[in-house]
Structure 1
């Protein structure tokens, strides 16, 4: 599900579930475990990378559609806990976005400290509305803190995906580079950060990211229950089934 590559003080965690790194419980658990274990294994920084053309296609909807409510709830809880693990990492985490990154893929990237995206016809965003879902406030907060409340509102309400150039202009991603250099640039940014005095850098980082950590930590199981209720609304089910049909083609 994942590949681990060590580059001195930096651990690269590469999602490895072809064809689009769809997020199922097994992949999420592997990613969550690797992120949490990295500092204890000596990593001073982490790069989370996807595959060529697609960072992650988001949650594995065909898989989720087969689950009963209890298993569905557990799968979504695992997703939110993985996002929280990235946000709470005591060492910096960079997203190396080599391609498209909709929905859940975007959420994971937004939890990182920095985002390097491939230049080209790739899109990123929170398109939950397009499939009948409401992104919880904790997730909306991730976008608001990067691009501001009004711009986030416009994208969230429309469920819009934006291309790489627009994403950088909005501040949704920090840097664009050629696809083959995405992970190299992600490591380079970390290497420069890690040259700073470690204790003050990490302490400042904790203070600066406290709102992000608090937003995800405050997401409760009762809120998750409301989110899952929405999954079973007729309009959402119709949109999800249409999505699965498109994916099947």
Structure 2
């Protein structure tokens, strides 16, 4: 089991994204036949550490966004079963990381999941949109992104973002069982090939539209510079 434990809400900063990329690529060659990724305490992941972005400015964003995209891709390309055990909030980048998994389980309770990135004022890199489209389809991805809402576990399951809602006390054991069931008696190379076939289109589109990431970075820099992102952070703090 891969457990994120990076600050109180596993906010995705440069260091966490780099660590996730490295670990997922190590796990590709690890003897383990399946992987469970989960969070700790208050969150699976509350998404991008926006304060680090506003404090670091353009120089930080130029390093961070490629690292964010790479962490998603490393999880999405993992050639073995991946189960996301969403223990609590999975917001924006945290939601995308969960959606990279083959199966998403979410604990009952007050956790929220979704992609409110438009409200923040910044777009996702292309890989995030492709991951979401793979998870919930073209219509679902459009509705999630343009709606910019977060959802409780039951509603997220109804919308197809979560496969199953389980009691919080059972989340870890149920996730391990789901991972084992996915691995099953299937030869690991056959699973890897089939998963790669299913995800090939999403990755090819990511590569084909790589030029979009320049615009994404420019918009992050613009709306950090003009105060939009800081305004969003302030509004969240007041709630």
- Normalising by structure 1, we get a TM-score of 0.86
1:122 counterpart SS class:
coil
Displacement after TM superposition at 1:124 (Å)? 0.8
1:206 counterpart SS class:
helix
In structure 2, distance between residues paired with 1:50 and 1:110: 14
Q: Which residue of 2 aligns with 1:9?
A: none
In structure 1, distance between residues paired with 2:34 and 2:145: 30
With 202-211 and 88-97 compared, the bigger mean Cα shift is at 202-211
1:213 to 199, 203, 206: 203
Runs of 5+ unmatched residues, structure 1: 1-11
With 39-48 and 102-111 compared, the bigger mean Cα shift is at 39-48
1:98–1:182 Cα contact (<8 Å) kept: yes
Cα deviation code 1:19-76 (max 9, x no counterpart): 1000111111111111111132312111111013310011111111122423311111
Is 1:127 matched up with 2:138?
no
Q: Relative contact order: is structure 1 or structure 2 higher (C-alpha 8 Å, sep ≥ 6)? A: 2
2:18–2:71 Cα contact (<8 Å) kept: yes
Is 1:147 matched up with 2:126?
no
In structure 2, distance between residues paired with 1:228 and 1:248: 25
Q: Which residue of 1 aligns with 2:70?
A: 81
1:35 counterpart SS class:
helix
Q: Which residue of 2 aligns with 1:4?
A: none
In structure 1, distance between residues paired with 2:81 and 2:204: 17
Number of aligned residue pairs: 237
Q: Which residue of 2 aligns with 1:244?
A: 233
2:120–2:228 Cα contact (<8 Å) kept: yes
- Normalising by structure 2, we get a TM-score of 0.90
More helix by share: 2
1:139–1:216 Cα contact (<8 Å) kept: no
**Structure 1 residues 146 and 77: alpha-carbon distance in aligned structure 2, compared to 1, 3 A threshold:** same
Cα deviation code 1:119-177 (max 9, x no counterpart): 12221111111111123443223223332323332221121112111111111011111
Q: How does 1:190-229 map to 2 (within 5 A)?
A: 190-198=179-187, 199-218=189-208, 220=210, 222-229=211-218
1:116–1:186 Cα contact (<8 Å) kept: yes
Is 1:175 matched up with 2:164?
yes
With 40-49 and 201-210 compared, the bigger mean Cα shift is at 201-210
- RMSD of aligned alpha carbons: 2.1
Displacement after TM superposition at 1:200 (Å)? 2.9
Q: Which residue of 1 aligns with 2:61?
A: 72
Displacement after TM superposition at 1:94 (Å)? 1.2
In structure 2, distance between residues paired with 1:164 and 1:34: 27
